[in-house]
Structure 1
Amino acid sequence: MYYPEELIEEIRVQNDIIDVIGSHVQLTKKGSRHFGLCPFHNEKTPSFSVSDDKQMYYCFGCGAGGNVYTFVMEYENFTFTEAVKYLADKVHITLPTVELSDDMKKQMDLKHQLIDINKAAARYFYYQLQTEQGKAALKYLEKRGITADIQKKFGLGYANIFRNDLYRYLSEKYDQKVLSQSGLIIPEKKKPGEFFDRFWNRVMYPIFDVHNRVIGFGGRVLGDASPKYLNSPETKLFDKRRHLYGLNLARIARKDCIIIVEGYMDVIALYQAGITHVVASLGTAFTIEQASLLKRYTNQVIIAYDSDAAGVKAALRAIPLLKAQDMSVRVLRIDDYKDPDEYIKHKGSEAFVKLLEKATPSFMFQVEEIAGKYNLDDPDNRTSFQKDVALKILELESEIERDNYLEAIAKKYNTNQQHLESLVAETGKNTGIVSSRNKIKNTINEKQKRKKQSEDGIILAQKNILTLVANNYDMYKIVKKYLDISDFLDDIYRKVAEEIYGAYESHEKIEQAALINKFMELEHQTKVASLFNAKVSFDNNIQLEKILNDSIKLIKSANIDAKSRVVGDISALQKLILAKRELQGLHISLKDG
């Protein structure tokens, strides 16, 4: 942290959270809290709450929460240091000049440095687009109809034709070891110690995470070189399976659904046409992780892939992944045009919006694709089609859905509904009901599932304990007898425990909003804020005592397991085994305090 803790806290106190958030979100006072529409996800009913007393905010819809620093960081896409400077300026506090020494630079978190490097690279690419050397790239974008405003909105840029142009620029500011982990440079095989740029002579598309931070890049080559599109490799920041291009903008579009397209230019073209709730996968087939990510922001999606065979195949792969997240899925057919970009250029945005309204339910889309394999005028082909459809209908878990689609299919394909129902029943007896949703879920090894459930349980146990002790000294007196600070395995929760334990031992009040200041990363601040906004549900002291016992035992047991994996001494291992056995007989009473 570059500035004294006392100064950080003074700046927070001087910036009333109601005033700061109220300048961006329309708030209405209800009792002791203020409510408004959450600026971080799409909602129609206000679930975004701001507490004047606690000087904290929390969204009951998406879980965003924290203090005034957290809000500014997330809303303005600022680092913690940038948020400090921003809020200091608002209350006319002059910050001391800070010079980072070489040692301080090395101590900066690697992830934080990589974010800075990507941000610097994005700015450099954008600058290059405006230069004489970037004319060809700029001409390409203008030919595609992308305006200067949209170029700026998406941070589009140009990677110079010189092979080490970006490397020379970044190496003046950043350590070479960190640069080598950014994915932006590649070592020269024949010249040890020298590097060249991963991207050169390409139109550049910065890839943002949901907090508007640049985490990677996509580059489209100018000319006939291969590959046509090149993405950043996986880094500490970037995992293409877990991110979606354009989601940072789509999540705040306040629409009922999100449209999934294939490429960068589709997202940009639709956004320019006023259709802002659109995302694209990142040079890979749509993944389970991306489906899970979308579920945080919407329950409805429309797949609008290219109209060619590859686009249809990709849509068919994506449907079960999205349905496994219990999402409503429709598929857009863009007849006579290659992709959404081309359709809008010829038909306009209003026509595209009307086309979206006619998107086909995903199940009927799958049935239509099955029908396309057969000549339905031929009796044998028609029978084979009906058998395939019967198998497909059996995948539907809801009886109401099955009845509705039986009726729709019978009507569309001029088939006797009762005969189709009989075929479905007969097929079900012979094969059993097959669910593609279950197939997706069963791809995860049972052992891995059990491990994840165990890890989730340990996290929840730590969270429950910290939530219980945060505002209850009597609960702290009980917990401290059984849990040391070192027992908290999660790094963030251990730091919180250290602060809470220290405050109680010093007979100081726990200032929750001030405690959040101890963390510089946005996700860490949000995680800490969730502790103070969470509720541990119980109806009576018996239930509370059970939660306390289960949580403490789980945390202690996890610690013993962690130590047993690294212990090398037999006698030490035997002591751990004995400690775990004794743990089973442990009973903690609420009277222990």
Structure 2
Amino acid sequence: MYYPDEVIEEVRTKNDIVSVISQYVRLTKRGGNYFGVCPFHNEKTPSFSVSPGKQMYYCFGCGAGGNVLTFVMQYENYTFTEAMQNLAERAGITLPQAEETEEQKRQADLRMRLLEVNKMAARYYYYQLRTPAGMHAMEYLKNRNLSDETMQKFGLGYSLMYSDALYRYLKQKGYSDEILDQSGLVKIDERGPRDRFWNRAMFPIMDVNSRVIGFGGRVMGEGEPKYLNSPETKLFDKSRNLYGLNLARTSRRPYFLLCEGYMDVIALHQAGFDCAVASLGTSFTPGHALLIKRYVTEVIITYDSDGAGQKAALRAIPILKNAGLSVRVLNMKPYKDPDEFICALGAEEYQKRIDAAINSFLFETDTIRMRYDFSNPEKKTEFHREVAARLTEFTDELERDNYMEAVAARHQIPLSALREMVNRMGGRRIVTETEAEEQSEARELRSKRKKEKDEGLRGDQRLLLNFITSHPERSHSLRKLLSVECYTDGVYHQIAEMVYADLDAGRAPEPAAVMNRFLDEEEERNQVAAVFNTSLSSDYTEEEQEKILAEAARRVKRSYLDQMVRKETDPVKLQQIIMERAKLESLHIFLD
């Protein structure tokens, strides 16, 4: 949908990027920018930067970048129109009725058609479950103690035993092979069309607005895999969706119950625990944690009580904590999962287990304790050392003391001895970390300088464009030397056009406004973000910085003139270019 530039700018400028991204990512101020763990790729060390001055974000790890509009588009999987509407509503702006561009219309139409196909398939599966052909799937669900009301609430269904039943049904409804293939419901290759799901109990997967975006299927009888999910599509990203979230988000409980599978979520909702969610056939990710944080501040992990479930809980805990969530872990022993527990003891007993759920750190120390034989003094000491090492990870002294007291009491460790061990380890750890950090910084500095030296022409153009944008008052000579045409790369040329136009008109360039021209193309958008996040290390003196910028300008100008020499056919003009090229080598380039 087309909106005038001034409307796009109004929406962008009235949505502060730090405020918006803070709803999704835990940010910490560092210098003039904010940093957090990137929501677009898995990482442990925060490399995701948000600049309040430039109103842009950029990940130094994966290269994702843009302004507040592109963040909402990328994170929420929104179209441009949906992102505009979301941010306009947030800022209290009434958008004008606007026309769509051809590309925006095509993308919006595609999403609409995919939603239609998924909705049609969900109705088809729902109907088949309640026919004689779906009797064995219905018996399976009934044997799992699911009521008709619950099955209706979750839209449960059945895919027939025939491998092309859904395909033939949807073709009769007028859907093309292309759209069916993109839906993930049908595979179309040289062997012909085949349903992805057949002879399975079907679980529609819905987004937060209760729109069907994918499916999970549990095989009836023998077959592998036991559970199968829709593939990634324009609608479905399993790393950013949670099963049951469309219902859990309206719960009045102050926490979410985090489960492992569909049946656990459904069983808990049926028992009255309407805050249960589960990841979708994939390990728990930072994207899942950030999605949860939008609705609650606490998560109670209720994974299976077997070894695999405990390991999964240990992996999920740091991810949830990094997102700023409080975490507890529920003990379901002697039962394996929530479904089995509730069938055996009922909802009231399960609520007692929720109330008794232990702090995640104590769960971790309990898990560590199971690895050691306390009848062996050596092994017992090793346990004490491992727990002490974990306690040194708390940087806040009061928090560390509180956990120290709790761990000492729980595992019958003399508090004074544990405190002495923690303090001794903490001292060594600080020295070791300091040394490691110094070595790491030195390596990074050497690597950065080598990269800045070897990056080449594109790096030079990025560096110069960012400097001219950030320091227009010191860039007059640079702009006089380097015309827009000197920026030969397509994206950089467009950036130079906009930045130079602003400066010629007496306006300060706004990087986030420049980004508006690149909203539709992710690759170009990331290149633009990289331009406005390319700068020289503060380790350089001002004199060194001027020299580096001057040499970068010389290389960019030289490259442009070399191209002109190769293209020019007029002898007079060619001689002029050659002379200018010769003078460039001795030209003194300075910053105003």
Q: Which range, TM-score by smaller chain?
A: 0.5 to 0.7
- Cross-structure match for 2:573: none
- For 2:122, the equivalent position in structure 1 comes to 126
Question: How far 1:158 moved relative to its partner?
Answer: 4.5
Residues 462 and 551, structure 1, Cα contact 8 Å, conserved in 2: no
Instruction: Trace 1:321-470 onto structure 2 (pairs within 5 A).
Output: 322=320, 328-343=326-341, 352=350, 355-372=353-370, 379-380=375-376, 384-398=379-393, 400=397, 403-420=401-418
State the alpha-carbon separation in 2 of the partners of residues 291 and 477 from structure 1.
47
Q: Which of the residues 311, 322, 332 maps onto 2:309?
A: 311
Deviation at 1:245, TM superposition (A): 1.8
- Whether the 8 Å contact between 2:515 and 2:528 is mirrored in structure 1 is yes
Q: Measured at CA, do residues 426 and 487 of structure 1 come closer, stay the same or move farther in structure 2, by a change above 3 Å? A: same
Contact kept? 1:42, 1:254, Cα under 8 Å:
no
Name the aligned partner's letter for residue 220 of structure 2.
Answer: L
Q: What is the 5 A alignment of 1:145-544?
A: 145=147, 147=150, 150-151=153-154, 158-168=158-168, 169=170, 173-174=175-176, 176=178, 180=181, 183-187=184-188, 192=190, 194-207=192-205, 216-233=214-231, 240=238, 242-246=239-243, 249=246, 258-270=256-268, 278-287=276-285, 301-320=299-318, 322=320, 328-343=326-341, 352=350, 355-372=353-370, 379-380=375-376, 384-398=379-393, 400=397, 403-420=401-418, 484=484
- Could you tell me whether the CA contact under 8 Å between 1:465 and 1:548 is conserved in 2? no
SS of alignment partner, residue 364 of structure 1: helix
Counterpart of 1:388 in 2: which secondary structure? helix
Distance 2:283 2:322 in 1: 16
Within 2, Cα distance between the matches of 1:557 and 1:276?
63
Supply the distance in 2 between the matched residues of 1:557 and 1:505 (Cα, whole angstroms): 24
- Secondary structure of the equivalent of 1:316? helix
Change (3 A) 1:274 1:193: same
Query: Relative to structure 1, is the Cα distance of residues 294 and 465 closer, same or farther in structure 2, using a 3 angstrom cutoff?
Result: farther
Which stretch shifts more, 467-476 or 219-228?
467-476
Offset at residue 199 of structure 1 (A): 1.5
User: Is the contact between residue 122 and residue 212 of structure 2 (CA under 8 Å) also seen in structure 1?
Assistant: no
Q: Match of 1:416, as an amino acid?
A: P
1:9 to 4, 10, 21: 4
CA distance in 1, matches of 2:242, 2:379: 40
Task: Please list the CA deviations of residues 390-433 of structure 1 after superposition, one character each: whole Å capped at 9, or x if unmatched.
Answer: 2232133346455444433332344433455567789999x979
Could you report, residue by residue, the CA deviation over 1:310-337 in whole angstroms, capped at 9, with x for unpaired residues?
3123223434555567765432212344
Unaligned ranges ≥5, structure 2: 27-54, 58-64, 89-93, 437-442, 560-580
CA distances 1:246-270 after superposition (whole Å, capped 9, x unpaired): 4965678798655432113334555
SS of the equivalent of 2:228 reads strand
> Which runs of 5 or more residues in structure 1 are unaligned?
22-32, 44-57, 440-445, 562-578
Partner-residue secondary structure (3-state), 1:408: helix
SS where residue 395 of structure 1 aligns? helix
Change (3 A) 1:460 1:402: farther
Counterpart amino acid of 1:395? Answer: R
Asked if 1 retains the 8 angstrom alpha-carbon contact of 2:66 and 2:515, the reply is no
Given that 1:386 and 1:420 are in contact with CA atoms closer than 8 Å, whether structure 2 keeps it comes out as no
Distance of 1:545 and 1:81 partners within structure 2: 47
In the TM superposition, residue 230 of structure 1 has moved relative to its aligned partner by: 0.8
In structure 2, distance between residues paired with 1:392 and 1:424: 9
| Inter-CA distance 462–545: structure 2 relative to 1 (3 Å threshold) | farther
Structure number, greater radius of gyration: 2
Instruction: Provide the residue aligned with 2:42 in structure 1.
Output: none
Going from structure 1 to structure 2, the CA distance change for 1:309 and 1:76 (only over 3 Å counts) comes to closer
Task: Give yes or no for contact 1:204–1:219 (8 Å, CA) kept in 2.
Answer: yes
Aligned partner of 1:340: which letter?
A: P
Residue type matched to 1:307 in 2? S
2:37 maps to which residue?
none
Count of equivalent residues: 499
8 Å CA contact 2:122–2:157 kept in 1: the answer is yes
Letter aligned with residue 218 of structure 2: R
Shift of 1:229: 0.5
| 2:244–2:265 CA contact under 8 A, matched in 1 | no
SS of alignment partner, residue 162 of structure 1: coil
> Structure 1: how far apart are the matches of 2:555 and 2:252?
45
Instruction: Give the conservation status (yes or no) of the 8 Å contact 2:125–2:157.
Output: yes
Describe how 1:48-87 pairs up with structure 2 within 5 A.
79-80=79-80
Contact 2:258 2:276 in 1 (8 A): yes
d(CA) in 2 for partners of 1:82, 1:292 = 20
Q: CA deviation at 1:360?
A: 1.4
Distance 1:423 1:269 in 2: 46
Distance 1:359 1:227, change over 3 A: same
Deviation, 1:225, is 3.3
Q: In the TM superposition, what whole-angstrom CA distance separates every residue of 1:59-106 from its partner, at most 9, and x where no partner exists?
A: 99xx99857x999x899987456799999xx9996979x9x8xxx89x
Q: Distance in 2 between matches of 1:344 and 1:557?
A: 71
| CA shift for structure 1 position 201 | 3.0
- Counterpart AA for 2:240: H
Identity of aligned residues (%): 33
Structure 2 CA distance for partners of 1:368 and 1:163, relative to 1, 3 Å: same
Q: TM-score, normalised by structure 2?
A: 0.56
Partners of 1:213 and 1:558 in 2: CA distance: 51
Cα contact 1:9–1:514 (8 A) shared by 2: no
Partner of 2:146: 144
The residue type paired with residue 162 of structure 1 is Y
8 Å Cα contact 1:261/1:304 also seen in 2: yes
Q: Partner of 2:162: helix, strand, or coil?
A: coil
Give RMSD over aligned pairs. Answer: 6.9
Greater Cα shift, 465-474 or 142-151: 465-474
Secondary structure of 1:394 counterpart: helix
